A and B are shown apart, each in its own frame.
Chain A
Amino acid sequence: MFTWDKNWEVVIGLEVHTQLQTKSKIFSGSSIAYGAEPNTQASAVDIALPGVLPVMNLEAARLAVKFGLAIDAHINKRNVFARKNYFYPDLPKGYQISQMELPIVGLGALEIKTESGTKTIGITRAHLEEDAGKSLHENFHGQTGIDLNRAGTPLLEIVSEPDMRSPAEAVAYLRKLHSLVRYIEICDGNMQEGSFRCDANVSVRPVGQKEYGTRTELKNINSFRFVERAIEYEVERQIDMLEEGGEIVQETRLYDADKHETRSMRSKEEAHDYRYFPDPDLPPMVLEDSFIEEVRITLPELPDAKKARFETELGLNEADAQVLTADREIADYFESTADATSADTKTVANWMTGELFANLNKAELEISDSPISSAQLAKLLDRIADKTLSGNTGKKVFAALWDQEGEVDDIIDAKGLKQITDTGAIEAIVDDVIASCPDQVAQFKEGNEKVIGFLTGQVMQRSKGKANPQMANQMLREKLS
């Protein structure tokens, strides 16, 4: 675990850009689908031809409000788009349409949990804006290629308060936020494709000092691991610098994952003057109460509430409830399995966190790509509950399901895994075992309890695993008592 000189306090705030899950761009009718050929999803508006105008996508507003409601934030019923002016080749208009003074989402909060307990992290604001295009630096005779497919993709920029005091807290906040935006289905959370991006503002100050230290902004940290490592590196760099009597320069720094270091981005050094002003092409957005209430109705049960319910109503322990609510699809899978099976919830939880997750991890699959559906798992657990399968044969059926060999009952039939529960059949095998193992029978009668396990094992072996082990055990005890 990362530690640092505890004479220093670490202060971290995060700015997270989430791409909103709309079909079209925020101000044009272009598709935002990922991975298209360069500039094939760049319309007249997106490439900023002279004379074109933006028209706001209602769905983007709806998703932003949904987020605001999910973090119990103030919704600014009157919010304003502003132009942020700067020149960059991936910014076709020479300004980004964003929100400055009046963002759509005001003050809210998110509760995180780390090893040191729970903590509330303030969310200053969340505002709507358009994404920029992409600059591609390779293979154009030393020139940069500009792809504007991404330009105009709706973003919700979520700005936290500088409330985090360790890299671990920053990651816990980021994970919580990541889980939330996927839960409420406003963002697919795909960090590789850049749907969920994070910048971190990091500073340190001597413990007890009230004023914040000079901060640096870390960019290009596009995985949870990089966020943690980049902040760790930066904290160490700043403490070393200050302890050597140096000064921190307020600047943007780029994290290089290969070298595990941050370095100054000279191109962003120049003092910016963004000349924000209200966009005259877009009058203020005014949200009716009825609109906000309509959005509220679409809000699903949120992770914290779901976790509490899994514990109190479904009787799961906290660890299982935590794991099974971390992701909405996992929670949905769990609930639909539990609803469809006669097995108890604890059994469902054990099979998911055990067998299912182990297989998914090994195959590097998300639960949405699981070869075993929740209905199939429910059926399997039914067959264990009704004693058709034992725990062991259940695992064999699970493996066959994973390999797509068919439905549960067909697999049981095909593999002849149906458990023997017929008393007569089991009794015959039990008698056979007692007759062929006189030494162990004698030991048991002398009080060696452990031997019953060996004898039950013999019954199972001779039944090719199909005898009900509880019945075999019980019958042996009866006959040897």
Chain B
Amino acid sequence: MALDSKTVQDIARLARLRVSVEETTKFGTELSNILDLVAQMEAADTDNIEPMTHPFDATLRMRNDQVTETNQRDKFQSIAPSAENGLYLVPRVID
């Protein structure tokens, strides 16, 4: 199965990755090869098989409702690319 360039661009857009025109072809071919590998799955009959989302069919463990965290803002924001007045800064978001 071959991915056309529009599909490659759409996926890249979903993943917030920029793919140049030249790269589109390269990625298209590589992704198509991977999808060919993946297509081998079709051979298996999986009717009535429950999907397995966890390696052992574990169930959720839950914690008690307690506040255990303390303020670590200064430490966390010391590694932030841009922060001011305790806020992370990004270019203006327009709603």
Binding site for B on A (CB under 8 A): 22-24, 28-31, 37-44, 47, 49, 55-61, 80-81, 87, 89, 135-137, 140, 142-148, 254, 265-267, 273, 275, 278, 280, 282-286
Contacts and interface: CB of A to CB of B under 8 A. Distances in A.
Interface residues of B, number: 35
B95 A61 contact: no
Given A57-B62, A146-B90, A283-B58, A47 B53 contact: no
B71 to A, nearest CB: 4
Contact of B67 (A29, A56, A61, A145): A29
A223 to B, nearest CB: 19
Contacts of B95: 254, 265, 267
A136 B84 CA distance: 12
Contact of B87 (A41, A49, A57, A136): A136
Contacts of A30: 67, 69
Interface string B65-95: 1111101110011000010111111111111
B81 to A, nearest CB: 12
Given A136-B87, A280-B53, A280-B54, A56 B93 contact: no
Contacts of A41: 69, 71
A282 B60 contact: yes
B18 to A, nearest CB: 14
A22 B84 contact: no
A143 B76 contact: no
Given A39-B86, A137-B93, A140-B89, A285 B71 contact: no
17 contacts: A23-B65, A39-B77, A40-B86, A47-B76, A55-B62, A59-B65, A137-B93, A144-B89, A145-B89, A146-B87, A146-B88, A254-B95, A267-B93, A283-B53, A283-B59, A285-B60, A286-B59
A89 B93 contact: yes
A268 to B, nearest CB: 8
Contacts, number: 125
Contacts of B67: 23-24, 29-31
Contacts of A148: 88
B88 A145 contact: yes
B6 interface: no
Interface secondary structure of B, over-half rule: loop
A56 B64 CA distance: 9
Contacts of B89: 140, 143-146
Contacts of A37: 73, 86
A219 to B, nearest CB: 9
Contacts of A275: 14
A31 B84 contact: no
Nearest to B16: A87
B75 to A, nearest CB: 10
Report the 4 A-B pairs with minimum CB-CB distance, sorted nearest first.
A29-B68, A145-B87, A59-B65, A58-B62
A266 B65 CA distance: 39
B42 to A, nearest CB: 20
A254 B95 CA distance: 9
A39 B76 contact: yes
A174 to B, nearest CB: 23
A280 B67 CA distance: 25
A42 B76 contact: yes
B86 to A, nearest CB: 4
Contacts of B59: 283-286
A58 B91 CA distance: 37
Given A23-B65, A267-B95, A283-B60, A89 B71 contact: no
B47 to A, nearest CB: 19
B63 A283 contact: no
A158 B85 CA distance: 35
B90 A143 contact: yes
Contacts of A254: 95
A456 B75 CA distance: 79
